[in-house]
Structure 1
Amino acid sequence: MTVPVDASVGPAPGARPATRAGRPDARASRPVGRAMPDDVLLDSLQIAGLVPFSTVDWPGRLVATAFLQGCPWQCTYCHNPDLQSCLEPGSVTWAEVADLLASRRGLLDALVLTGGEPTRQPGALAAARWARRNGFEVGLHTAGPYPSRLAALLDNVDWVGLDVKASAARYDGVVAAPNAGRKAGESLRLVLAAAERGLGYEVRTTVAPGMAVDTLRLARELRDAGVATYALQQARAEGTLHLRDAHPPGWDEEFAGLVEDVRALGFPALHVR
């Protein structure tokens, strides 16, 4: 989801900057496993934007959505390329997020952490714990590039939207990163195991022109892995750096055919966006 300019929250006047000297706090790159106080981790968060009300980031919930800066993968159809850099300072402090949630207790159901890739930042775990302690559910959008960090988060969130990009054979090329397919597969297994303990989840794939054949192959892999809830999302060109045309001639018909082929695989729940 792209941060709407008129809906994002910037630094409050006189607020403590999200980073020091315009550079991200080095603590943001430390592993989740390090024992650091939650207030320190929250202070280290690089938050690129905050949407105070959303009905689309967690189906069936009214949420506030925090966009965490930085992602190790570079998908060609990424519609938030400004959030890829891990060196950009945050424009929203955690204090602003906490103040928003506190002021809308009883109105909002949940906090959703998205990105970028929220599991890149150790403070995501602290944010999830804070939200739950204060009566909010927590949703997480992730592509799963950090399985060990995801494992730590899964006991502290209520719903996960897991982005699975491509079939195992094509994964590393699609995201322009080595070992990405292995990490995504491990993260999928973690989410499915957590789902057996009651975690809500959705696996989704963004489909750009030229990806239909591979997406059907991926859908078969996901079905065989035990995925019950799957979503197909059409890529859009707006905001991307490399996808010039999301609707070339014949693509709408090809995508419709893909949807029918995936539907025939028998997922208990299939969503198309």
Structure 2
Amino acid sequence: MHFLKLSIGGIKDISTIDYPEEAVTVIFTCGCPFKCPYCQNWAFFDPKNCKDMEIDEIIALLTKYSKFTTGLTITGGEPTLQGKSLIQLLKRAKKIGKIKLDTNGFYPEIVKEILKLNLVNYIAMDIKAPLVPEFYGRVCGREDIGDKIVKNIKKSYEIISNRKDIKFEARITIVPDLIDKEEDILQIAKEIKNVNILTLQQFRSDGGTLDPIFNEKLSPTREKILKLAKKVSPLVNQVRIRTLVGGEEIIND
């Protein structure tokens, strides 16, 4: 019997946009060490929006949905916050199909253990800002631990980029008046140039944000994001943009 539980905000039975070229079940975990003011998954901060599910129960659902999917994406919140339970889930889910993990990189030892055990095929890591503690802490809403955040993200980046058999995507959310300047995006690209894919994604407030101030901000246009993508394209292997109007587009290959 398996009695470990995972705090879950929701499970989407099938998605074709959360793992490139795959149809997957998506698990949204609860809790996060960051308080990004523009966060769209703000509901997963509130325990009343979450449910503790036994690993057995989750695996049963994944098995049921596997008739129509090729794997699993686990996102959040921050999945690695629930390290022991996450690892137990991944060990058992690996038999069902391919696994993609979304992470903010704050828990490098959990990332290291997951890769040591060969539990995932794909990791997408959110890079919130240039790797400068004060800046990063401000964007994450955690200026009190900016040094620790940057130190841990650098560790996670090194751990993942050393595994050439794992698909590694870095994602930057372009947020008006916070992280949308060309020089900042270029600096990030230089700092993470070993990723397989760099995705610039569009901030959206239509589902609400953690800080209500950001509810009033307009999404950056596709044209603005495309312009930024073309600037960074010489620095990384592949650049993509993700917008409401254009979906996911490959800019260079």
Band of TM-score, shorter chain: 0.7 to 0.9
The residue number in structure 2 matching 1:180 is 149
5+ long unaligned stretches in structure 1 = 1-37
Q: Secondary structure at the match of 1:212?
A: coil
% identical equivalent positions: 27
TM-score by length of 1: 0.76
TM-score (normalizing by structure 2)? 0.82
Offset at residue 97 of structure 1 (A) = 2.5
Matched, 1:90 2:51: yes
Give the deviation of 1:100 after TM superposition.
2.1
Equivalent runs, 1:96-107 vs 2, <5 Å: 96-107=57-68
Please tell me whether the aligned partners of residues 226 and 241 of structure 2 are also in contact (alpha carbons under 8 angstroms).
Answer: no
How far apart are 1:119 and its partner, in Å? 0.3
Any gaps of 5 or more consecutive residues in structure 2?
A: 243-253
Instruction: From the CA coordinates, give the structure whose radius of gyration is larger.
Output: 1
Residues of 2 paired with 1:157 and 1:87: CA distance?
30
Partner of 1:241: 210
Q: Distance in 1 between matches of 2:12 and 2:232?
A: 33
**Counterpart Cα distance in 2 of 1:256 and 1:137:** 30
Does the 8 Å contact 1:129/1:156 carry over to 2? yes
Q: 1:252 to 1:108 in 2, by over 3 A?
A: closer
Q: Is 1:167 the counterpart of 2:138 in the alignment?
A: no
Higher share of residues assigned strand = 2
1:227 aligns to 2:189 (yes or no): no
Deviations 1:220-253 (CA, angstroms, capped at 9, x unpaired): 2222xx22311000111122132134427x8665
Contact kept, 8 Å, 1:78 with 1:240, in 2: the verdict is yes
Q: What amino acid is aligned across from residue 151 of structure 1 in structure 2?
A: K
Match in the other structure for 1:202: 169
Q: Which residue of 1 aligns with 2:250?
A: none
Matches within 5 A, 1:1-273: 39-41=2-4, 44-85=5-46, 89-90=50-51, 93-121=54-82, 122-132=84-94, 134-154=95-115, 155-169=118-132, 170-177=135-142, 178=145, 179-194=148-163, 196=164, 198-210=165-177, 211-213=179-181, 214-223=184-193, 226-238=194-206, 239-242=208-211, 243-247=214-218, 254-263=224-233, 265-273=234-242
- Asked if 2 retains the 8 angstrom alpha-carbon contact of 1:101 and 1:108, the reply is no
| Deviation at residue 165 of structure 1 after TM alignment | 0.8
Structure whose residues are more often helix by fraction: 2
Look up the SS of the partner of 2:168 in the other structure. strand
Distance 1:204 1:89, change over 3 A: closer
Name the CA distance, whole Å, in 2 between partners of 1:62 and 1:165: 27
Match of 1:166, SS state, is coil
Question: Could you tell me which amino acid in structure 1 is paired with residue 93 of structure 2?
Answer: A
Q: Report how many aligned residue pairs link the two structures.
A: 227
Cα contact 1:202–1:231 (8 A) shared by 2:
yes
The amino acid that maps onto 2:204 is: R
Q: Which amino acid aligns with 1:269?
A: Q
**8 Å Cα contact 2:189-2:236 kept in structure 1:** no
Change (3 A) 1:271 1:256: closer
In structure 1, the residue corresponding to 2:128 is in which secondary structure?
coil
- 2: distance between equivalents of 1:235 and 1:164? 14
| Counterpart Cα distance in 1 of 2:93 and 2:221 | 42
Aligned letter for 2:112? A
Deviation at 1:53, TM superposition (A): 0.2
When the two chains are superposed, the root-mean-square deviation of aligned CA atoms in Å is 2.2
Taking a change above 3 Å as real, the CA distance of residues 245 and 253 of structure 1, as seen in their structure-2 partners, is farther
Quote the offset at 1:91 in angstroms.
Answer: 6.1
Determine if contact 2:40/2:205 at 8 Å carries over to the other structure. Answer: yes
Q: Distance in 2 between matches of 1:87 and 1:153?
A: 29
The one-letter amino acid paired with 1:165 is K
Deviation at 1:85, TM superposition (A): 4.5
Give, in whole Å, the separation in 2 of the partners of 1:251 and 1:237.
13
